[in-house]
Structure 1
Amino acid sequence: MAPTAPALSPAEAATRLGISIKALRVYEQRGWLSPQRSAAGWRVYGPATLARAAEIVTLRRLGLSLAQIGRVLTGAGGDLDVLLAAHHASLTAQARSLADTLARIQTLRADLAQGRIPTQADLARLAPPAQAVTAAFDLPWPWGGERFEVRGLPALTYLTGPLGSGKTRLAHCLAEALPDARFLGLERPIGPAAALMTADPALAARVHRALDWLTGDGANLSDALIALVTGLEAGSPAPLVVDLVEEGLEAATQDALGAFLRRRPPGSRPLIVMTRSSAILDLSDPGADSAILFCPANHSPPFYVAPHPGALGYEALATCLAPPDVRARVGRLRVKRVS
C-alpha cells in the first residue's frame, strides 16, 4: 500500500503551487477549495485539495479571470474554449517558427558533416529577424542626449525606475515620438470619462466588459478605476502611454489590474504603463507579450531588462518595485514630511 502524501501547510502549498497564501484564501472564500484542519485547528492541504488548487492555478495562468474560472469549475466551458483556441493559435505559430529554425539547423549540420563550413549569412538566418525601429529620439535631461531607439512594441511595456530616475520624462518622450501615440496623465477625473462613455455607447460597452472582468477578479469599483479603464479603452489603436497606472487604486484592485493587463493578447493596442508596483509588474509573470523598460537611478540611459534573476539590471529593477501596501505607507510618510 502506497504511503499517504503528507498534508501541507498554507505556506508549503503556496510555494509548491507558485502562488501566494492570499490567493489560496481567495479560492477558499469562493468555495473552490476546502482545506482540512489539523488537530491544532490549522489549515492543511491534502493531495485532493492540492490537485484542485493546481487546476485553478493553471486556469489563472491561461488568463481566465476569477469569475470565468468559477463558471468553468461549475461546468460552463465557453470561456475556456475561447481562451484555449487563442492559446492554440499562438502556440501553433511558435511551433512553425521553431520547426523552420530546426530545419535550418539540420541543414547546416548536414553541410558540416560534408565538410562545408556555413557562411555568416547562413548563420544569420538562424537568428530571429531584427525588429525595425519604431521610434527614435535624443534623450532629454537628466540624460546626456544619447540616442534612444524603440524597436517594435509588444502589447504591454512596463516603464519603471526609482524616484528621480527620469521615467516620467521618458514617458512623455515616448508619447511624442511614437506614431499617433497618446499620453494618459496622472490626473484622471471621472467627469470626462463619464462624458466619453455617454457619447460613445461602443466605448461604454468595452469599459463595462473590462470592469466586469476586473471586479470579478477582486477589484473594487471606484471612480479612479473607471476613469483609468475608460482611458485605456478610448481612442484609436495607436500606442497609449500611461502615467503611474496604479494611482488611486488599492491593493486588491492593483492585483486585478495587473492580471488584466497581462492577459492582453499579442496584437493588442500597445500599452506603455509606468509603474512601481509589484502587483502591476509581477516579475515572475510579466505576461507573454511584454517588455520591461528600466530607468536607472544613476541617470544612465534607459534599457530593457529581461525578467529573470541574473539578467542585466534585474536586481536594480526588483528593488525599485514594492507591494501596494508598502507603496501606500511610503506615500503617507512623504506627505507628512512635506506638510
Structure 2
Amino acid sequence: MGTSTSSASPVSSPEPPAGTPDPSARPLSAPEASRRARTRRWLASWRRRDTRAAYAFISPWMVGFLALTAGPMAASFVLSFTNYDGIGATRSVGLENYRQLFEDPQVATSMANTLLFALMRVPLSMALALALALLLLRVGRAAGFFRTVFYLPVMTPSVAVGILFLLLFNGNVGLINTALGWVGVDGPSWTTDGAWVKPGLVLTTLWALGSTVVIYLAALRAVPQDLYEAAELDGAGRWQSFRHVTLPQISGAVFFTLVVNTIAALQTFDEAYTAFFGTSNAQTYSHEAALFYVVYLFQQAFQFMHMGYASAMSWLLFVIILVITVLQARLSRRFVYYEGETR
C-alpha cells in the first residue's frame, strides 16, 4: 500500500484590513498628527462650494484690510524706530523715539487734555443718548421720524462742526452767550479761556450722538414687557424698574457704546483742529487747552515732518487704547448681562 506524498503549498498570511496603520511606518508625534488632521479638515472644507463662495465674498475686505490697515500698521511700527522725515534717507535710531515720548512735555499735556475730554464727553453723551432713547420709546409711531432727525447730525462733516463751534461759542457774538445773556448770565470766553475750551468742545460733539441713540432705542425695544409687569406686581416703582430691569437688559448695548465712544474720544481730532489750529486767526485761540493727542501727532507728522516720532506716538496711543479697552472688558463682567447666561 503506497502512500503518495504531495508537496505542501506555502500558507500566505492574510492581508491587513484597509485603514490599518503600517507597523513599519514611523509613529507620528502628537503635534504632527494634530497638524495633519487639521490640514485634512481644511482641505475637506475648502472643497465645499459654500466655503469657496464665502472666501470670494470676504476677499475684498481682506485685501482692503491688508492694504489699508495691516500694511500701514506694520510700516508705522518699523518707522517708529527710525528718523524718517518723508523725504530724506531713513536711519535707524532704535528706541530713541520712544524715549523722547516720555521727555516731551507736549506729549503729557496733549494726553492729559485728551483723557480729560474723554472723561467729560463719554458719560455725558451716553446719559443724554439714553434719555433721548427713553423719550423716543414713549413717542409711539412718531419714533421713526425723530430717530431720523437725531441721526442726521451724524452725517454732518466734522469740519463743519468745528466751524459751527466757533460760530456758536464765540465769546462776544456767539449764539450761546447771547442766549445766556437773555437770562442774565454772563457767558464765558469759550474759545479763548483754557478752562472752557474742552467743555465747549464736549457740548459741540454732543451734536452727533444719534448713532448711540439708535443703538439704545433698539436695545430698549428688545426688553421683554413681562419683566416690567412682574416688577410692577412686586411693587417696584419707575426708578426701581429702570435700575433692576431696564439697565441689566440693555447692559450689552451700554458696554458696546462705552467702548466705542471711549475709543472715539481718545482719537478726537477734526473738531479741535478745525476750530483751533486750522483757522486763519488761530493764534487768537488757546492752543494749550485744545492740544489733543492726535492733533499733536498730526503736527509732528505733517507739519514738522517727524514721521518716525509720529509713528511712535501712534503706537503709544494704540497701547493706551488697548489697555483701557481690556480694563473695560474685565470690568464688564460685573455689570453686563447676556440673555441665557447663568451667574
- TM-score w.r.t. structure 2 length? 0.30
Higher-Rg member (1/2) = 2
Q: Which has the higher helix share?
A: 2
